[in-house]
Structure 1
């Protein structure tokens, strides 16, 4: 079993990144872009992070496909995969790299679903949320990976679980 922390769209709010990394002690940390920080910021040590449309440091890769705890992950901000419209392009991208999970941001709206055996997850914006759950004040996600399941729990900025935002999906 492994615990992964997924964060996106903090837009310069470095303090929240420090807080969450300290609170969750995750086995892996993923940042889906729009940090607006420099790639060599010490916070990114040991973190899989990509460049978003608001990131000026082009040393961040646009896409990463790490193998973590035996799972191939597609990590992208989403702006180049047209996630504002639907997940078709991102799903094709995930399929082309053999991803079992695809993490993305950009929309500032949390979302999670299984499509064709792949977990698609947007943690929402930790600093500038939009959509149905904006009143939460920002969200991130913790994914617990077991041999048989993906367990997704969304948390608020102050690391409180959002009870109604807990999801379990079977791994194929």
Structure 2
């Protein structure tokens, strides 16, 4: 199973459309982790599951929980869990909902890490990255108990330094 994660596109339409078109039919889920700043009915979001970010005015859900292969994937923007300061609160939430993969944005920092058996993934920002110059998104490849997290820049070039495979 494959999942596309993107976040913090802050009003970008054409660029988000290009990503959606590139992966429609090639991934099983596309998730926008908030701050799209687009209307909920915008056609570019039609193939995405979208959560509400702190800059979104639309009535998107605050979070979602999805079955993804053998995993439970929890997605939220992150501002309600203070992810810029610590991942503790979002980790507690993952425990509450039984998730073993957590996807969030808000900090605009691309990365992934395994904390107490829960895989935390921030796809970074597709418009205003922090900590790196590349505008990023990522693809999760879920095979049995392995999760490969593969990061790409806005030109669909792989960013090797950010790519990891985890066993959950």
Does the TM-score normalized on the shorter chain lie above 0.5?
A: yes
Structure 2 unmatched ranges of 5 or more: none
Q: Output aligned runs, 1:1-172, within 5 Å.
A: 2-24=1-23, 25-57=26-58, 59-131=59-131, 133=132, 135-136=133-134, 138-171=135-168
Aligned residues: 166
User: How far does the alpha carbon of each residue in 1:84-139 deviate from its partner, in whole angstroms, 9 at most, with x for none?
Assistant: 001000000001000011000000111201112211000000111011x1x22x00
Distance of 1:17 and 1:26 partners within structure 2 = 15
Q: For 1:10 and 1:123, how far apart are their aligned partners in 2?
A: 11
Q: Deviations over 1:61-81 (max 9, x none)?
A: 111112233421111000000
Give the TM-score normalised by structure 2. Answer: 0.94
Quick check: 158-167 or 28-37, which moved more?
158-167
* Length-normalised TM-score, structure 1: 0.92
- How many angstroms apart in 1 are the aligned matches of 2:91 and 2:69? 21
What root-mean-square deviation, in Å, do the aligned CA atoms of Structure 1 and Structure 2 show? 1.1
2: CA distance, partners of 1:13 / 1:47? 14
Q: Secondary structure at the match of 2:120?
A: strand
Q: Deviations over 1:24-68 (max 9, x none)?
A: 3321101100000011112222422100000011x2011111223
Question: Following superposition, which runs of at least 4 residues in structure 1 exceed 3 angstroms of deviation?
Answer: none
